[in-house]
Amino acid sequence: MSQLLSDKVAVITGGGRGIGRAVALAFAGEGAHVALIARSEDQLQSTASEINALGRKTITCVADVTERDQVDAAASVVKEAFGAIDILFNNAGGGIEPAQIAQSDPDLWIRDVQVNLFSAYLVTRAFLPLFGPDGGKIINTGSGMGHRSGPGSSAYHVGKAGLWMFTQCLAEEIWERGIEVNELIPGPVATHLTKGRMEPGGPPPFTPSERVKTPEEVAPLALWLASQPPGGPSAQSFSLTRRPI
């Protein structure tokens, strides 16, 4: 049976849990080999075991993707294991400082932007040389909060807004290499980061029109973006939200 990502190599940050884990398993189910990057070795090994059970190759790299040396070391490990890659999913991120600007902790505010923006820059820069002559796909996990302002969580707004601009700039710089770059906006998802605030199937606290998804419900859109033929969409934002972003 033909598989959408047969023998492709995908790199996924934040791949030990949540959306990253769900997408890693979806990619492996469609024939991809997967390199997983995250800070938690136990979670990485758990996801890797599930991928191996599907008959696909996988490696794990324990790394903080906001640290350049650790990202570069992970890229070296992936190059040694696979030689080249076809897909990069910049998924690591999360909200750290929800306070309003005047009451915010400067260290947490800066860390929030690092996690949501600088990490994607460092990872992308390190892994771009590993894409082969046939090009590939880069998918960045964005947020509707990166497309609009709002009180509170300004660091997250700024980090994701920067990621959206980064996505567009990168797409214009590398299109001649046959690499398409797009943003994926999951909308509200029940993960460890939203535990206690969001339950799958119900509305999130901030709007009744939305429905909280499981991580597995995000995977089909990531798979669609990863499996588009060459010359497909690039510099675009694709959203699973149920309201204007």
Q: Is 96 helix (H, G, I), strand (E, B) or coil?
A: coil
Distance CA 51, CA 21 (A): 10
Give me the sheet containing 58-62, strands edge to edge.
Answer: 58-62, 33-38, 9-13, 87-90, 136-141, 179-185, 236-239
Taking each helix axis from N to C terminus, what angle separates 154-174 and 106-113, rounded to the nearest 10 degrees? 30
**What does residue 136 show for φ and ψ, rounded to 5 degrees?**
165, -160
Both tokens of 186, joined, read: 């999951």
Both tokens assigned to 148: 């609009």
From the candidates 27, 109, 121, 156, which is the catalytic residue?
156
For the question of residue 156 being annotated catalytic, the response is yes
Residue 124: how many other CB atoms lie within 10 Å: 19
Residue type for position 124? T
Residues 6+ apart with CB under 8 A from 52: 58
Structure tokens at 200: 């799958």
DSSP 85: B
Q: Which residues belong to the active site?
A: 156
